[in-house]
Amino acid sequence: MALDPQLLDILACPDTHHAPLTHDEQAQTLTCTECGRVFEIRDDIPILLLDEAR
């Protein structure tokens, strides 16, 4: 199951700049457009924790 497009529209980086995220469906990741942090999607749940970002 893929992430809901409406959810993708409202998700933002959890850092103070709250920049939009880009979705890579094949890699199952979300990438911040400002700081470049990469957040994993596990079992269709975005893991938006700064400590777990790459």
Q: Could you report the per-residue pLDDT of 14-37, keeping only the tens digit for each?
A: 999 999 999 999 999 999 999 999
DSSP class of residue 51 equals G
Q: Which of 28, 19, 18, 23 is nearest to 6 (CA)?
A: 23
What pLDDT, on a 0 to 100 scale, did the predictor assign at position 2?
78
At 1 the pLDDT is 63
Model confidence at 41, in pLDDT bands (50, 70, 90)? very high
How far apart, in whole angstroms, are the C-alpha atoms of residue 35 and residue 24? 16
What mean pLDDT is reported for the chain? 95
